[in-house]
């Protein structure tokens, strides 16, 4: 029995569903069809998630949703395919890579406004390892999941890298700069 087949059993996890979605995409060149009614109640509720793919500990893709606009089970299936096949930073996942994929599903809380008065205020109130952060400035937007704290432990480094990801210059600060924060739980 393949890892994708095990994902459909009674003890299925969101991680298993994401892997099954990727396997289906490789085999059928289309998204896995799911009926929310066939899944646990918590998966049927609106939910937002990010899917992170790694091979040998190296990032292989990471995309997701910041807002819960559809059932979590649908969000997982769609984001798994998007991460595997449409993350612009990587070539699409291949069939040979499938057994090597490490899949992580991060289920996000609703983002909340995080008003700050200054960069020092922001840095002093960030919770390393807990907060995911969204940076918004005009048309520019970027986010880091709480898991990014594993590689950027210092709040100042975390903010600098997030500014860079948003396409802002180093040290950029503006009174129109806005932030939102959220938490994430492991989707198993």
Identify the pLDDT of residue 175. Answer: 93
Which tens digits make up the pLDDT trace of 87-132?
Answer: 999 999 999 999 999 999 999 999 999 999 999 999 999 999 999 9
Q: Do domains 3-108 and 112-186 have the same CATH topology?
A: no
Which tens digits make up the pLDDT trace of 44-84?
Answer: 999 999 999 999 999 999 999 999 999 999 999 999 999 99
The CATH superfamily label for domain 3-108 reads Hypothetical protein ph0010; domain 1 (3.30.700.20)
Mean pLDDT of 148-176: 96
**CATH topology (fold) of 112-186:** Dna Ligase; domain 1 (3.30.1490)
Q: Does residue 1 register a pLDDT over 90? A: no
Token code pair at residue 141: 């937007």
pTM: 0.89
Which tens digits make up the pLDDT trace of 134-161?
Answer: 999 999 999 999 999 999 999 999 999 9
Mean pLDDT of 164-174: 96
Q: Does residue 173 register a pLDDT over 80? A: yes
Q: What is the DSSP code (8-state) at residue 71?
A: B
C-alpha span between 81 and 24 (Å, rounded): 9
Q: Which range, of 1-5, 111-115, 176-180, averages the lowest pLDDT?
A: 1-5
Mean pLDDT of 164-176: 95
Q: Does residue 11 register a pLDDT over 60? A: no
C-alpha span between 42 and 85 (Å, rounded): 27
* Under 8 Å between Cβ of 126 and 158: yes
Identify the pLDDT of residue 187. Answer: 85
Which of 57, 63, 56, 58 has the alpha carbon at shortest distance from 21? 63
Domain ranges in the chain? Answer: 3-108, 112-186
Q: What is the DSSP code (8-state) at residue 11?
A: T
């Amino acid at each position: 029995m393949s890892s994708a087949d095990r994902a459909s059993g009674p003890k299925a996890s969101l991680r298993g569903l994401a892997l099954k979605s990727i396997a289906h995409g490789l085999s059928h060149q289309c998204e896995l069809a799911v009926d929310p009614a066939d899944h646990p109640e918590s998966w049927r509720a609106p939910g937002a998630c990010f899917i992170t793919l790694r091979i040998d500990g190296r990032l292989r893709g990471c995309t997701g949703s910041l807002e819960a606009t559809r059932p979590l089970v649908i969000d997982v299936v769609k984001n798994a395919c998007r991460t595997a096949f449409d993350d612009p930073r990587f070539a699409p996942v291949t069939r040979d890579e499938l057994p090597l994929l490490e899949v992580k599903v991060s289920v996000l809380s609703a983002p909340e406004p995080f008003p700050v008065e200054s960069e020092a205020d922001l840095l002093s109130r960030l919770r390393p390892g807990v907060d995911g952060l969204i940076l918004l400035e005009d048309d520019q937007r970027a986010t880091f999941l709480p898991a990014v704290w594993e590689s950027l432990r210092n709040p100042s480094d975390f903010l600098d890298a997030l500014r860079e990801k948003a396409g802002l210059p180093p040290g950029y600060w503006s009174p129109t700069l806005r932030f939102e924060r959220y938490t994430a739980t492991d989707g198993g």
